[in-house]
């Protein structure tokens, strides 16, 4: 009898485990070039994150996203250059590109910037969709982003593609109560999800 009760308990435990909601789904079409391993870039010039959403929600989060890109690159054993240094060295080319309406993930644009900051590679990220309608209720934001890691010396794409899905503010912890900080937390989670897919640099 006790054996049967244990079986029932285990069955119910398995049912509830399957029924429990998991992490929100995230899909990507990221492609790593075979040249990434050969070049093994160290110093990375991180461009300002580009907002192509056409809305007002991402603009206040762009600096947070760029800061998190630097932090996450360090976690992946890369060496991000100081953003102020990158902006100073690349300002004229960036201004020329922006007046022409070009995107910062276009390879021709990245080729025009290559080497100006003495970097091994340039990292460019574009956010094309950001829906925070569930942020205050469920702490969730749906997104679509694109990325290009461009090798500066050989002027080739090392890693690129799209990522889309839903992130949760606070990650595995509690979401911040303040709405602005909750939005910044969701922005950081997006960048973490993206950079977690970048292969670690070889020491």
- Per residue in 144-187, pLDDT tens? 999 999 999 999 999 999 999 999 999 989 999 999 999 999 99
Mean pLDDT of 85-98: 78
119 within a domain of the structure (yes/no): yes
Whether 70 and 80 have beta carbons less than 8 Å apart is answered as yes
Whether 113 and 90 have beta carbons less than 8 Å apart is answered as yes
What is the pLDDT at residue 14? Answer: 40
Count other Cβ atoms within 10 Å, centred on residue 76.
Answer: 14
Residue 66 belongs to a domain with what CATH number? Answer: 3.40.50.10610
Whether 12 and 19 have beta carbons less than 8 Å apart is answered as no
**pLDDT grade for 196, boundaries at 50, 70 and 90:** very high
**pLDDT grade for 102, boundaries at 50, 70 and 90:** confident
166 within a domain of the structure (yes/no): yes
- First-to-last alpha carbon distance for the chain, in angstroms, is 59
How many domains does the structure of the chain reveal?
A: 1
pLDDT tens string 12-32: 334 333 333 567 889 999 999
17 within a domain of the structure (yes/no): no
Domain extent, residue 169, equals: 22-195
Q: Average pLDDT of the chain?
A: 88
Q: Residues 146, 80, 43, 89: is their CA dihedral positive or negative?
A: positive
Count other Cβ atoms within 10 Å, centred on residue 5.
Answer: 9
31 within a domain of the structure (yes/no): yes
6 within a domain of the structure (yes/no): no
136 within a domain of the structure (yes/no): yes
């Amino acid at each position: 009898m006790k054996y049967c009760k244990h079986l029932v308990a285990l069955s119910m435990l398995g049912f509830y485990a399957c029924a429990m909601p998991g992490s929100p789904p995230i899909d990507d079409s990221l492609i790593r070039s075979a040249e990434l391993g050969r070049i093994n870039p160290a110093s990375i010039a991180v461009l300002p994150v580009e907002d192509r959403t056409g809305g007002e929600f991402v603009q206040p989060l762009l600096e947070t996203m760029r800061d998190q890109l630097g932090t996450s690159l360090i976690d992946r054993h890369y060496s991000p250059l100081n953003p102020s240094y990158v902006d100073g060295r690349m300002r004229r080319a960036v201004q020329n590109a922006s007046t022409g309406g070009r995107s910062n993930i276009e390879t021709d644009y990245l080729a025009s910037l290559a080497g100006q900051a003495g970097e091994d590679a340039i990292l460019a990220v574009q956010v094309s969709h950001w829906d925070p309608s569930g942020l205050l209720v469920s702490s969730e934001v749906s997104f679509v982003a694109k990325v290009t890691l461009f090798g500066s010396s050989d002027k080739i794409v090392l890693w690129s593609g799209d990522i889309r899905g839903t992130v949760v503010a606070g990650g595995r912890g509690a979401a911040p109560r303040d709405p602005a900080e909750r939005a910044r937390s969701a922005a950081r989670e997006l960048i973490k999800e993206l950079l977690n897919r970048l292969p670690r640099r070889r020491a």
